[in-house]
Structure 1
Amino acid sequence: MESVPDHSMPQIKEIRILCVDDHPLIRDGIAFALQFQKDMKLVGEAKHGEEAVMQFERLLPDVTLMDIQMPGMNGIDAIHAIRKVSPRAKIVVLTTYAGDVQAARALEAGASGYLLKSMLRTELVVTIREVYEGRRRISPEISATLSEHLSANDLSPRETEVLRSVAQGRSNRQIADALLISEDTVKGHMKSIMAKLDAGDRTQAVIIAMKRGFLQA
């Protein structure tokens, strides 16, 4: 008797993924990892934010993996643009930076996941599945840092500008001349910066700001 094909088995729903990163090795590594997942398919890649938005509009992926630091439009701006196209877009940030500032900005922009690139091998697949299913997933290290600074004051754009100049080795007078403000105003900004970062001096303020991500973008 001729066998009848069994059509009762449910078909595996593929999670369509867009990968955005300016480093080819990262994109290749993610493509390699995803090829072994029966429920996942890499449908597109992008090297920077502008291309990410175009690829998203064209492909409408289920999950987008987004780097933060890229030439041109950065990842956070790309998240904002993609969420304008599709408010329900599911985006996982992939980054080398553990700072709470970038994480907070990415989550505020609409990211559903935040994963350090050092954890891709162990966490990538699980994170994609959880975000696809509508849950938020953040690396424990990032969650701890976010909780630690939950009530901390953010630096203003001007304070960030001043501190970036300090990181470049400029004196208060040089900063004042460059920003067209008085030297006393620069000192006032530095006093506020050190209070917000709980720093004892200028050097410590720069170190803390870099670690937390204020000076990454």
Structure 2
Amino acid sequence: MNPRTNGPLRVILVDDHAIFRHGMRAVLEHACAFDVVAECGDGESAVAAYLALRPDVLLLDLRMPGLDGLEVVRRVVEADRGALILIVTTYATDEDIRHALRAGARGYLLKDAGPEDVCRAIERVAEGGMVISPDIAAQYVRITTRAELSPRELQIVRMLCAGKPNKEIARSLSVEVTTVKGHVKSVLDKLGVRNRTEAVAEATRRGIVPSY
């Protein structure tokens, strides 16, 4: 973590929408009394600005042209293990949340948060804490408490998405049909769904398999 000074919190604001940046800057500087040391509209400039200025908190959107927010998190954390990054986005899929926090983000806030919530979230992250938007807190708990799919289960779910029945999956993997059925049950449990159709939909939504 970068050493804190006695002055206002130093923040870099990253979002590809200028109107959102303008509004958020007003919140940060007036409602929060923070110092916005840089604004960036893309990921490449965000990484460069962070490395040059070393702010207390990097406020970052996920979806941007070119280098996306997730890759910004990875590059910044690789360069500075103490980096404090707060995601502020409209996207709240399981995969977005899980990948962002696993990459090193310290918080995940939705863009409809009020000014006071934004101020408190940044202060909390700057203090070394973690912040999850109340709107997705239950979702985050579900994500973190659910076991990951094993490599074999990933194979199974991809074959389910391809429409293959258990017998064909068993032949492809050179295993018994009963073994496949056991894997399918485990996949359903881990994805939190009731049947194969729901498993396909959930796997697609999470990005486990590509959507076409």
Normalised to the residue count of structure 2, the TM-score between the two structures is: 0.72
| CA-to-aligned-CA distance 1:105-163 (integer Å, 9 cap, x gap) | 22222111111112143411111111112222212333311222333243579959x86
Confirm or deny: 8 A CA contact 2:88 2:111 kept in the other structure: yes
Extract structure 1 runs of 4+ deviating beyond 6 A.
none
Q: Which runs of 5+ in 2 are unaligned?
A: 165-170, 174-179
Q: Which residue of 2 aligns with 1:113?
A: 107
Determine whether 1:36 maps to 2:5. no
Determine whether 1:24 maps to 2:15. no
Greater CA deviation, 95-104 or 25-34?
95-104
Instruction: State the Cα RMSD in Å.
Output: 3.8
CA–CA distance in 2 between the matches of 1:121 and 1:216?
36
Q: 1:82 aligns with which of 73, 76, 80?
A: 76
CA–CA distance in 2 between the matches of 1:156 and 1:105?
17
Confirm or deny: 8 A CA contact 2:98 2:143 kept in the other structure: no
CA–CA distance in 1 between the matches of 2:39 and 2:96?
23
Q: Which residue of 2 aligns with 1:204?
A: 198
CA–CA distance in 2 between the matches of 1:132 and 1:27?
20
Q: Which residue of 1 aligns with 2:168?
A: none
Identity %: 35
Confirm or deny: 8 A CA contact 1:20 1:48 kept in the other structure: yes
Q: 1:33-112, aligned counterparts within 5 Å?
A: 33-37=27-31, 39-112=33-106
Confirm or deny: 8 A CA contact 2:32 2:119 kept in the other structure: no
CA–CA distance in 2 between the matches of 1:216 and 1:193?
17
Q: Which runs of 5+ in 1 are unaligned?
A: 1-10, 173-182
Greater CA deviation, 193-202 or 91-100?
193-202
Determine whether 1:14 maps to 2:3. no
CA–CA distance in 2 between the matches of 1:129 and 1:47?
23
